[in-house]
Structure formats: C-alpha cells, structure tokens
Amino acid sequence: MSLLMTVPPNLVQSIRAFRVAELQDEAARLGQHFLYAHCNAGVTKQQVLGIIAESFQFPKGVGKNFDGLRTTLTETVFGAIATTALPLAGFLVVLEQLPNTQKFDKEARETLLDVFRDAADFWAEKKIPFRVFYSFE
C-alpha cells in the first residue's frame, strides 16, 4: 500500500504525520524525483531561496527571486525533461523548517508556498504528480 494513497497527486500541504525518510523512500519506490531543502539557516528571502536552489541542485543564479524559482520549477524543468524523452513519474518535494524571521515573515512564507502551488498546478495540467510537504521552524 502506498504511503501517499490518500494524498492528491498535485498539492502543497504541511508535512504533519509524514516523516522525511518515509517520503524519500516512497519517492524512490514510485520512481519520483525527491527534492529536499532544510531551510532553517535562512534569515532573508534571498538566503531561503538560495538554500532551496542549492539543495535542488539548480544551475548557479537560478531561483534568486520568487518569479525565477517559479519559472525553474515549471518551464525550465519541463523543457529539460522534454529533450530527454524519458518518462517522468513525478516529484516529491520537502521544504523543512521554513524560517519565521523579520526578513522572512508570514507573507514571504505564503508567497513561497504560492510559488510551489503554481508549480503543482502546472504539473497537474501535464498529469505529472508534484507533491510538496513543508514545515515551519
């Protein structure tokens, strides 16, 4: 039985009862890309975006702002995959310990999660699972 059986294929939600190791194992079992970023070292928007870009192994300079991250998670990745002709089983993303600081406040966290919601919608249109789980510091 799948750990994600009751989880819709394209969503952004709190990690709650899931453990990171279990999600990573499930992504491997499903043949999905597992993207993980532990973000609590970030204090500012630039630092948090930098941690995500580095953790996801994006090319240097990618994801420096919310729009850049949105484009990378959608069009850039889709373009790269389209050239390989390999089937894509999906993505399982974990954003752990999103900070709550003066320079990365509730509004910044919501904007970041909106970027991932946009990406989930983009991949849903292509019938490719894109699940994002997050936790706050």
Task: Tell which residue, 31, 32, 49, 43, has the closest CA to residue 95.
Answer: 49
- Sign of the torsion formed by the C-alpha atoms of 91, 18, 107 and 46: negative
The pTM (predicted TM-score) of the whole model is 0.94
pLDDT by position in tens, the chain (length 137): 678 988 999 999 999 989 999 999 999 999 999 999 999 999 999 999 999 999 999 888 777 899 999 999 999 888 887 777 667 899 999 999 999 999 999 999 999 999 999 999 999 999 999 999 999 98
Q: Which fold has domain 10-136?
A: Barnase; Chain D (3.30.370)
Spell out the domain ranges in the chain: 10-136
The amino acid occupying position 115 is V
Q: How far apart are CA 128 and CA 88, in angstroms?
A: 7
> Helix (H, G, I), strand (E, B), or coil: what is residue 116?
helix
